[in-house]
Amino acid sequence: MANFDEDIKRITDEILSDGTVDQIIREKVTDGIEKAIASSFNYGKLEKAVKERVEQVLVPFIENYDMSAYIVKLDTVLTEIVNKSVLMDNKQMLENFQYLMKEPQITEMKLTDLFKEYKKFVARNMDTYGRKVEWDESPEYEAMTAFFEFEEDRERIWSSFKYATIDFTVDEEKQQEELNRTIRLSKWNGDRKDGWEIRVDTNPNLNSLRNLDEFDLLLLKLQRADVRIIADELGDEDYVYSDTKPEPTYE
């Protein structure tokens, strides 16, 4: 037993004299500091400060960075995929992607101009089955009336934003309600830019992209590029004729 006690004393003396205790304390202190720093980055003022600083630096950099080269590369990849796969018959997907990625050359758009684009959408997608044929200089399917109405929501005292709605509709909405579009708009009270931001909920994936009409793609493009809508008029209506023309029949 005496030998065992002597061994403990000897080993203890060695540990105390050879720096082992110093090393253990150093490791524990280092570990404690690392955990404290990691914890500070996970939550609290330090995490918030670092996040804000990173956003201040990175966001303007990304916004101003020319991504055109990458878009061209992605366009090339998609083209190869379409040409080499069963998607050969779905070229519309590629065309829609190319249209969506092309940056608008405008920073704002009048509501009356957006209405013109909606009328083109109606003309492309109007169901002509059973429609009467009108004759003037050339045969046309009976026109459909398209409308738009801009309405600003009642202002909320507690909110820093204003909201509005654009309703694009046709007079035969029960028969062709798929032509109707409701677009939500918002405006931050402190925003120095004119006009309203578009708030489109649609996030197209690869499958849905080929089925979207050019008008819906336009809304997505305008939103992505932060093109503002200028409400130059609160409402209007107009006749729209189908792009599909009646085929003459001979009796």
Residue 155 neighbours by CB under 8 Å, 6+ apart: 162
Residue 113 sits at φ, ψ, to 5 deg, of -75, -35
Residue 137 sits at φ, ψ, to 5 deg, of -80, -30
* The two three-digit tokens of residue 145, written as one number: 């009336």
**Residue 133: predicted pLDDT:** 87
Give the model confidence (pLDDT) of 124-154 as tens digits.
999 988 888 887 777 889 999 999 999 998 8
pLDDT category, 118, cuts 50, 70, 90? very high
Give the model confidence (pLDDT) of 169-192 as tens digits.
998 767 788 999 999 999 987 777
Q: What is the mean pLDDT of residues 99-115?
A: 87
52 or 87, higher pLDDT:
52
Residue 136 sits at φ, ψ, to 5 deg, of -130, -105
Q: Whole-angstrom Cα distance, residue 201 to residue 113? A: 22
**Residue 2: predicted pLDDT:** 52
- Cβ atoms of residues 215 and 190 within 8 Å: no
Residue 134 sits at φ, ψ, to 5 deg, of -105, 150
How many residues does this entry show for the chain? Answer: 251
**Residue 176: predicted pLDDT:** 86
**Residue 117: predicted pLDDT:** 96
DSSP 136: S
Taking the alpha carbons at both ends of the chain, their separation in whole angstroms is 125
- Cβ atoms of residues 208 and 97 within 8 Å: no
Q: Whole-angstrom Cα distance, residue 212 to residue 209? A: 6
**Residue 165: predicted pLDDT:** 95
What residues pair up with 184 in beta bridges, in sequence order?
165, 199
DSSP 190: T
Give the model confidence (pLDDT) of 36-86 as tens digits.
666 655 666 666 666 666 666 655 655 555 555 555 556 666 666 666 655
The torsion angle over the Cα atoms of residues 29, 33, 38 and 39, rounded to 10 degrees, is 100
**Residue 241: predicted pLDDT:** 93
What is the model's pTM? 0.63
**Residue 158: predicted pLDDT:** 72
Least Cα distance to 245 among 147, 146, 126, 145 occurs for: 126
pLDDT at 250 over 70: no
